[in-house]
Structure 1
């Protein structure tokens, strides 16, 4: 169950603002979507195992040297490349604080911790356009209101050229891929590091990214 809290910030500021505000809004508005995501995981063999074992994606759980040594194109190598190229860390993902149910709290934690893997699978950088594209994919995949809001309001910060690329190329692809793909929370990524990104996209049903500059 989600605890009701007063989130007294303008909605658009929360969508754009500090990570803690975004995290709070995500947890306090996910009361309908989180149980559905949990049920999708329970009804999938790999997802069920994830729920039982509750793996975490943190620097303390990752063998970065091993992942760097994997061949180009593998999930592990490309994930580390994404982290290093964009100077991001999995340890920046905030723990769930406003979800009382332990299993639902893990579901939203898992969603946060695989977010950078969504960037890797979709081939999207961490600039505003890349984030908006990933948010559209995640919104379709998860139904989480925070993803929907990020997808809807993120484009206000894009210039005219990027808006055109989003509307004509990236948004249709992200939505089609989100609808077509299996649940991305049902992938035990920690056991897929040696699988190629291309193969995993194909397995999930994510269409190849458009050949456009993001």
Structure 2
């Protein structure tokens, strides 16, 4: 092969012209191809933001928010659930009077295994299956509160309405469940939430802090909702000595005993037994009525007042 330097001037000129022509043809052809792809929208290039866009895309498995499973449902990421547990726990401890903290703590700690256990319990009982099939709601309209006032004095319905009137509350204050994923499990928790006042009524416990704690312990031993157990564990820490003594000596033993011995409260179709005698119901369920908390508090303050006068 000849070196380029050995070629004559005419040969070198021809060689360089031919090379330039070939290279120009290749570049022109490549440009035409790129232009054609660009025109057809087929031109792709590496986007430096591709990784970021992938992480925030709705198609990304880890960052995609689930679809609502029922009206009002708010799907949450795992980190949001953890933050809700922490925030509502702190809020409930320092401000137990604020319902939003209690609601958030209840739903964020109502883990699926516990609710699945309640679901199994309901499915194994004919009344529980009826509740899941019919899904009744407890409201002032569904219960017809005026009708309850006409029922016999010792009936469940009349006992319930008298308790509502005495405590100044309404069944309409129970907010809808929003943060539990499964639609049927959400209803089970909603049912538990709306039946809470019936537990108060049949036990006679008021909504003052000691009464709420006692009912929560009773619920936890019978139904197993985690928030009830957390309330029993941490709520007494902020109480006065006299309140703790009443809880630990009287109402905790009662709640443990009645909660464990009574039949499952989650399977009670309250709307269908409003005319039933409340004492007969307690006996059938195995619920022992605790001492009257308001009377115990009244007696305590009277003794305290007399002691100060001496």
* TM > 0.5 fold call: yes
Conserved 8 A contact 1:118-1:134: yes
* Separation of aligned partners in 2, 1:158 and 1:202: 32
1:144-184 Cα deviation digits (max 9, x unpaired):
11111111122123322221111111110111100001110
- SS of residue in 1 equivalent to 2:137: coil
Indicate how the Cα distance of structure 1 residues 100 and 66 shifts in structure 2: closer, same or farther if over 3 A, else same.
same
Conserved 8 A contact 2:204-2:289: no
Conserved 8 A contact 2:88-2:102: no
Say yes or no: does 1:18 pair with 2:18.
no
2:147 is aligned to 66
Displacement, 1:209?
1.8
Conserved 8 A contact 1:75-1:196: yes
1:132 is aligned to 213
Say yes or no: does 1:152 pair with 2:233.
yes
* Separation of aligned partners in 2, 1:206 and 1:123: 12
Displacement, 1:80?
0.4
1:99 is aligned to 180
2:109 is aligned to 29
Conserved 8 A contact 1:29-1:146: yes
Conserved 8 A contact 2:88-2:105: no
Displacement, 1:48?
0.9
List alignment gaps of at least 5 residues for structure 2. Answer: 1-68, 70-74, 298-310
The structure with more helix, counted as a fraction of residues? 2
Displacement, 1:67?
0.4
1:83 is aligned to 164
1:10-47 Cα deviation digits (max 9, x unpaired):
62423525222222221122122111111111111111
Q: CA RMSD in A?
A: 1.8
1:172 is aligned to 253
1:85-104 Cα deviation digits (max 9, x unpaired):
11111111111101121110
* Separation of aligned partners in 2, 1:126 and 1:208: 16
Indicate how the Cα distance of structure 1 residues 28 and 211 shifts in structure 2: closer, same or farther if over 3 A, else same.
closer
Conserved 8 A contact 1:173-1:210: no
List alignment gaps of at least 5 residues for structure 1. Answer: none
1:108 is aligned to 189
